[in-house]
Chains A and B, each alone.
Chain A
Amino acid sequence: MYGFEALTFNIHAGYLEAIVRGHRAGLLTAADYNNLCQCETLDDIKMHLSATEYGPYLQNEPSPLHTTTIVEKCTLKLVDDYKHMLCQATEPLSTFLEYITYGHMIDNVVLIVTGTLHERDVQELLEKCHPLGMFDSIATLAVAQNMRELYRLVLVDTPLAPYFSECITSEDLDDMNIEIMRNTLYKAYLEDFYRFCQKLGGATAEIMSDLLSFEADRRAVNISINSIGTELTRDDRKKLYSNFGLFYPYGHEELAVCEDIDQVRGVMEKYPPYQSIFSKLSYGESQMLDKAFYEEEVKRLCLAFEQQFHYGVFFAYMRLREQEIRNLMWISECVAQNQKSRVHDSVVFIF
């Protein structure tokens, strides 16, 4: 029904689209970032943020601030926005919105499991979890000893359960295993989300397939770079790539055999949309790759707002807000640690 969603879209999702576009107007602009980068103390940052949408969330914080407080409160704002939207949403938008949080859920599961492996306190770990990825029995993850138990005890009740089908082994958990688990879960999640969006059809499918393909390709590149020099075999590596995106299928073959970062680069440069990412970096440099990817992602997310009557805006807004919170965290850290010269290293301007 491509092209006809405009007829009926506003019946259910019109209000929420208006809301989300209003929220988008509240994102910090380049002028805001310039001002924030000039701040001398965290109190200055708070003062500046008090004129933005974060104001009500920060105003009751007593004066010696910490970066974590700022990030926590800003995340709270995102969570409140999300919850408000989720409350108002009807099917299939509500499912779509729930899909957005699964990524955080996977991250939280991995965080808790890794933390328990290194014998950290569960409460401490819980505080570090992203609030969007919380589920009821998350703290119980600490009980599990291996993947099978993890699944059987806890995750079977969560929406992540179907993604587990590929990684149930009785091996004991270790760092490598967990990392593989994270990527297998992510792969299954992205594929499922992609299928769901395709099922929705229309502009949603078009825009979300672009955004999710980018996400999948980025993960593929990251997996390739991170697995260089580990004991992960080529076939295992290839198994972790999501089965869609620009690299699928031929790029995956090439990525799977890469031995160093310049080979990865060579693969990427064959794909015109990704040429620009590497063009800014000199050979052999991988630290700035993350930032380049983030910048590219932000550009794509902003484009999602150019079209109306699709669900991509919700995904884009959540991602942009998260990027903004990452920016704020970086700026606050730089200000707090007196490293102001490095402020611009990792800040991605959204507008």
Chain B
Amino acid sequence: MGEARGGCCPPMYLFRSEPMQLVQLIVPIESAHLTASYLGDVGLLQFKDLNVEKSPFQRTYAAQIKKCGEMARKLRFFKEQMLKAGFCSKKSTAQVDINLDDLEVKLGELEAELVEINANGEKLQRAYNELVEYKLVLEKAGEFFHTALSSATEQQREYESSRTHEESLDTPLLLDQEMSTDSSKQVKLGFITGLVPQEKSMAFERIIFRATRGNVFIRQVVVEDPVTDPVTGEKIEKNVFVVFYSGERAKNKILKICEAFGANRYPFGEDLGKQAQMITEVSGRLSELKATIDIGLLQRNNLLQTIGDHFEQWDTLARKEKSIYHTLNMLSLDVTKKCLVGEGWSPVFATKQIQDALQRAAFDSNSQVGAIFQVLQTKELPPTYFRTNKFTSPFQEIVDAYGVAKYQEANPTVYTIVTFPFLFAVMFGDWGHGLCLLFATLFLIARERRYSSQKLGDIMEMMFSGRYCILMMALFSIYTGLIYNEFFSVPFKLFGPSAYACRDLSCIDATTVGLIKVLPTYPLGVDPAWHGSRSELPFLNSLKMKMSILLGVAQMNLGIILSYCNAKFFRNRLNVWFQFVPQMIFLNSLFGYLSILILAKWCTGSQADLYHIMIYMFLSPTDDLGENQLFAGQKTVQLVLLLLALVAVPWMLLPKPFLLKKQHQDRLRGHSYTLLQDTEDDTFQLGSNHDSHGHEEFEFGEVFVHQLIHTIEFVLGSVSNTASYLRLWALSDMPSHLPHHGDPPG
């Protein structure tokens, strides 16, 4: 049917989705990989999964996918390492042909090397960090011992001097005894020094205090700069601590607590001279280690550099291989295990390209037999495929966001190309803003080639992909802006002077009595004289509101007409007579009539109140219209229209489900001998098929409820949609009145 239609008229691929075919491929196993790769480049074949019931690891190429996953893991590892080292992978254009197996080996080697270097580096780093900590302990604790010693001697001196004086309150009571105990009985105080993370230091101190019942002396000194922890390798704030204790049991407890808190202990000599010696020793070893670490880092950086040069390619290759094997997993293995059988959907026009790709694959893989390509007959509903170009694709995406059309249904995208930007412009309407938008989008379009090849940010990406849509929006905005006569909310006298002028030179009564018309009507758009006048708002509101309703009714009619196109295309007379016709009648007898009234009011300049007419058309259709009459016989017309609308609702609701039921019963009765006709009349089958949910099962209740919902939706929808179109007015009103928000209403 695609060809039949394509023959008579120019290709109208935008109006309907592409004709599709179900194709079967039989690919020899040796050329399968290359075939999948080439078909992937063509990108016009959608494989059906023939192994749905198999779990991922039972499929033919599960092992290869695992391999690719493993490679991807290694590549992620490299990337992480490169990021840590501050390298960014360069895009190398040189295509190096590398086999998947070679790549796997290579990646494995590189990983092993990198891991080894890292391990060595870590070991060295750990030793280095330990030494740094040790040095800190030596310095800080040394400082502490030093001050303690000097204060102690001072105290001693003070004590000696105070012995002669009277005892002051400050002197500790036990001091006497303490000092007088002779040195032989003195308990030897042990001490432990080390570093503890600052955030745990309080809890550490508390626990030690509790565990030893307070029989300890703890000193902590804050280390100013964060220290790299030797175990975790992270930079954390630490405290140097010194704990004095007495007794072996206390020591064991404290050691355990240190371990529990991750506090690193370091030996510390009591002797001052020894301390200084240790510090110099540690410093010496530090500088030695530093040099070794630097060499290791250099080596590591070199390795990462070489990885970085190829990273992008390898990554692409690994991803590509993985998706190739995923595709191949959707193919089923032939019983002879010599070839793969695949089924997929492709657009009819792509047949040549696909066959070409198959041939190339067979040739390039030196396969003895070529792949077999054949078209299958099917009654399945094919997927929808729209050919788009860079201009239509944003619009297609907008339409798809609301719902993808069924196979070969009319594609609303064609109309959306105009209606979407136009309705936007009705709201945006300002040619100053429109020009800004135009320049912005022209900039994007001018740099199209450069931007399309590079990765943009989130928002920028969206702007860029919708650039042609925005272009249309800008053009329409300029147009509507001219109609509204707004340039950044300021009117311009572009098309000659205003048609209105003051009654006299003084212009005193301009705001009270009004202006008089002196020139012919302003040629395009709103007369600038309206701006700032007392009646500006009511005038523009009335204009835009009515315009919105006209646009809305026109668009809703377009939608219904599209449903007619579909019914006609699928030769579904049921939908024409019991859906399209009553819908048209319902919509137009209510809102179509309103549109006509609006036009009539504009043309005749009548003062009739349209709200009143519409409301009383329902409330009391037989009453006299009085001053609101627009034309002779209006009452009769309204009565007829109202009746038509009332009739249209059951017309939409009732006949279709019953007729579908009858159709279904007929088909069941004649099922055995209509087989021949079925194959002949494929389109009819397709069309009626998806309306009655497949002809094997027919649930009357379901169909009826479906129709009921559909009808209610349409009736309520046509009312609420008309109201929604008033948003066009509401939003178009907003920007023009924002600037003079402070003005008095008038």
- A139 x B57 contact (CB < 8 A): no
Q: Interface digits, A45-77 against B, CB 8 Å rule (1 contact, 0 not)?
A: 001101100000001111100000000000000
Indicate if the CB atoms of B56 and A47 lie closer than 8 Å: yes
* Neighbour of B203 across the interface among A40, A61, A142, A157, CB < 8 A: A157
Which of B57, B69, B206, B210: most chain A Cβ within 10 A? B57
Interface window among B255-263, B348-356, B617-625, B680-688: B255-263
The interface-forming segment of B70-78, B293-301, B328-336, B486-494 is: B70-78
Task: Report yes or no: A139 in contact with B55, Cβ–Cβ below 8 A.
Answer: no
Contact A60 B73 (CB under 8 A): yes
B253 at interface, CB cutoff 8 A: yes
Min CB–CB distance A308 → chain B (angstroms): 26
B257 and A143 within 8 A (CB): yes
A139 touches B259 (CB 8 A): yes
Chain B residues 221 to 268 lying within 8 A of chain A, measured CB to CB, are 253, 256-257, 259-261
Q: Pick from A60, A122, A136, A152: contact of B200, CB below 8 A.
A: A136
How far is it, in angstroms, between the C-alpha of A40 and the C-alpha of B56 when the chains are bound?
12
Contact with B along A28-51 (1 / 0, CB 8 A): 000000010011100110011011
CA distance A136 to B57 in the complex (A): 43
Q: Which of A35, A122, A153, A157 contacts B211 (CB 8 A)?
A: A153
The residue on A at minimum CB distance from B70 is A63
Cα-based distance from A59 to B72 in the complex (angstroms): 9
> Which A-chain residue is minimally distant from B57 (CB atoms)?
A44
Decide yes or no whether B316 CB sits under 8 A from chain A: no
A-side contacts of B57, CB under 8 Å: 39-40, 44, 47-48
- A139–B70 contact, CB under 8 A? no
Kindly state whether residue B372 has any CB partner on chain A within 8 Å: no
Q: How far is the CB of A147 from chain B (nearest CB, A)?
A: 15
Q: Which residues of B contact A48 (CB under 8 A)?
A: 55-57
Q: What's the minimum C-beta distance from A136 to chain B, rounded to whole angstroms? A: 6
**What 0/1 readout, one digit per residue, does chain A (100-133) give for beta carbons within 8 Å of chain B?**
0000000000000000000000100000000000
Check B375 for interface membership: any CB of A closer than 8 A: no
Q: Given A43-B66, A137-B207, A157-B203, is A122 in contact with B260 using a C-beta cutoff of 8 Å?
A: yes
Does A222 reach chain B (CB closer than 8 Å)? no
What is the minimal beta-carbon distance from B356 to any residue of chain A, in angstroms?
Answer: 35
Q: Are A50 and B69 in contact (CB under 8 A)?
A: yes
A122 interface neighbour in B62, B65, B76, B259, Cβ under 8 Å: B259
- Asked whether any CB of chain A lies closer than 8 Å to the CB of B665, the reply is no
Q: Does A279 contact B (CB under 8 A)?
A: no
In the complex, whether A154 has a CB less than 8 A from a CB of chain B is: yes
- Residue of B with least CB distance to A145: B253
Bound Cα distance from A142 to B255, whole angstroms = 11
Asked if A88 CB lies within 8 Å of chain B CBs, one says no
Mark contacts of A219-234 with chain B using CB atoms, 8 A cut-off: 1 yes-contact digit, 0 otherwise: 0000000000000000
Is B607 an interface residue when CB atoms closer than 8 A count as contact? no
Q: Mark A152-195, 1 if CB is under 8 A from B, else 0.
A: 11100100000000000000000000000000000000000000
| In the complex, A140 has a CB within 8 A of chain B | yes
Q: In this assembly, does B636 line the interface, its C-beta being within 8 Å of a C-beta of chain A?
A: no
Closest to A36 in B: B55
Whether, in the assembled complex, B58 has its beta carbon less than 8 Å from a beta carbon of chain A, the answer is yes
| A140 with B256: CB separation less than 8 A | yes
Please, how many angstroms separate the alpha-carbon atoms of A138 and B256 in the complex? 12
Residues of B within 8 Å of A138, CB to CB, are 260
Closest to A154 in B: B207
**Closest CB in chain A relative to B108 CB, distance in Å:** 11
CA distance A143 to B211 in the complex (A): 8
Q: How far is the CB of A240 from chain B (nearest CB, A)?
A: 29
- Given known A63-B70, A142-B260, contact A136–B203 (CB-CB < 8 A): yes
- Whether A38 touches B55, Cβ cut-off 8 Å, given contacts A60-B76, A143-B211, is yes
Q: Binary interface profile of B, 65-99, with partner A (CB < 8 Å = 1, else 0)?
A: 11001101100110000000000000000000000
Q: A43-B66, A50-B69, A60-B77 are in contact. Are A153 and B56 (CB under 8 A)?
A: no
Residue interface bits B183-226, CB-to-A below 8 A is 1, else 0: 00000000000000000100100110011000000000000000
* List of B residues within 8 angstroms of A136 by Cβ: 200, 203
In the assembled complex, the CB of B72 is this many whole angstroms from the nearest CB of chain A, namely 8
Decide: A59 and B207 in contact? CB cutoff 8 A.
no
Complexed CA–CA distance, A277 and B206 (Å): 49
Cα distance, A138 to B200, chains bound together (Å): 12
Cβ–Cβ contact B207 & A139, under 8 A: no
In the complex, the chain B residue whose C-beta lies closest to that of A116 is B256
Q: How far is the CA of A44 from the CA of B253 in the complex (A)?
A: 47
Residues of B within 8 A of A40 (CB): 57
Q: Are A139 and B203 also in contact (CB < 8 A) when A43-B66, A47-B69 are?
A: no
- Smallest beta-carbon distance A13→chain B, Å: 30
The answer to whether A35 and B55 have CB atoms under 8 Å apart is yes
For chain B residues 317-359, which have a beta carbon within 8 Å of chain A?
none
Q: Given the complex of chains A and B, what is the CA–CA distance between A44 and B70 in angstroms?
A: 13
Q: Which A residues are in CB contact (< 8 Å) with B259?
A: 122, 139
Residues of B within 8 A of A39 (CB): 57
Interface residues of B in 554-606 (CB under 8 A from A): none
The smallest C-beta distance from B202 to any residue of chain A, in angstroms, reads 10
Instruction: Give the CA-CA distance A143 to B254 in the complex, in Å.
Output: 9
- Residues of B with C-beta under 8 A to A122: 256, 259-260
Closest CB-CB distance, A120 to chain B, in whole Å?
A: 14
Query: A152 touching B210 by the CB < 8 A rule?
Result: yes
The minimal Cβ–Cβ distance linking B655 to chain A, given in whole angstroms, is: 42
Write out the residue numbers on chain B whose beta carbons fall within 8 Å of the beta carbon of A154. Answer: 207
Interface-central residue, B62, B73, B76, by most chain A CB under 10 Å: B73
Residue on B with the closest CB to A60?
B73
Q: In the bound complex, what is the Cα–Cα distance between A61 and B66 (angstroms)?
A: 13
Expressed in whole angstroms, the Cα–Cα distance for A165 and B20 within the complex equals 77
Residues of B close to A62: CB separation below 8 A: 73
Cα A122 to Cα B257 in complex, Å, equals: 11
Contacts of B70 in A (CB 8 A): 63
Give Cα A139–Cα B257 distance, bound, in whole angstroms.
8
Q: Is the CB of B261 within 8 A of A47?
A: no
Residue of B nearest to A31 (CB): B55
> Which residue of A is nearest B260, CB measured?
A139
Within the complex, the shortest CB–CB distance from A70 to chain B, in Å, comes to: 15
How far apart are the CA atoms of A152 and B212 in the complex, in Å? 12
A47 touches B66 (CB 8 A): yes
Per the bound structure, the CA–CA distance linking A142 and B77 in Å amounts to: 38
The answer to whether B207 and A140 have CB atoms under 8 Å apart is yes
Once bound together, how far apart are the Cα atoms of A139 and B77, in whole Å? 33
Known contacts A38-B55, A60-B77, A153-B210; A140/B69 CB under 8 A: no
Knowing A137-B207, A153-B207 touch, does A142 contact B256 (C-beta < 8 A)?
Answer: yes
How does the 8 Å CB contact mask read for B49-61 relative to A, with 1 for contact and 0 for none?
0000001111000
B210 and A137: CB pair below 8 A? no
**Complex-state Cα separation, A39 to B55, whole angstroms:** 9
Decide: A137 and B260 in contact? CB cutoff 8 A.
yes
Question: Whole-angstrom distance between the alpha carbons of A62 and B77 in the complex?
Answer: 10
How many Å lie between the Cα of A44 and that of B69 in the bound state? Answer: 12
Determine the chain A residues whose CB is within 8 A of the CB of B62 once the complex forms: 47
| Least CB distance, A135 to chain B, in whole angstroms | 10
The answer to whether B56 touches A51 (Cβ under 8 A) is: yes
* Chain A CB within 10 A, most for which of B69, B76, B77: B69
Q: Bound complex: CA of A154 vs CA of B209, how far in Å? A: 12
A38: which B residues are within 8 A, CB to CB? 55, 58
Query: What's the minimum C-beta distance from B43 to chain A, rounded to whole angstroms?
Result: 24
* Interface contact B203-A143, CB-CB below 8 Å: no
Whether A139 lies near B261 (C-beta < 8 A) is yes
Chain A residues lying within 8 Å of B66, measured Cβ to Cβ, are 43, 47
* Cβ–Cβ < 8 Å partners of B65 in chain A: 47
Instruction: Encode A306-329 as 1/0 by CB contact (under 8 A) with B.
Output: 000000000000000000000000
- 13 additional contacts, CB 8 Å, given A137-B261, A142-B256? A43-B66, A59-B73, A59-B76, A60-B76, A60-B77, A122-B260, A137-B203, A137-B207, A140-B207, A143-B257, A153-B207, A157-B203, A157-B206
Could you list 6 A-B pairs, sorted by A, with CB under 8 Å? Answer: A40-B57, A47-B65, A59-B73, A122-B256, A122-B259, A143-B257
Going nearest first, the 6 A-B pairs with the smallest beta carbon separation are A139-B260, A35-B55, A44-B57, A140-B260, A143-B256, A153-B210
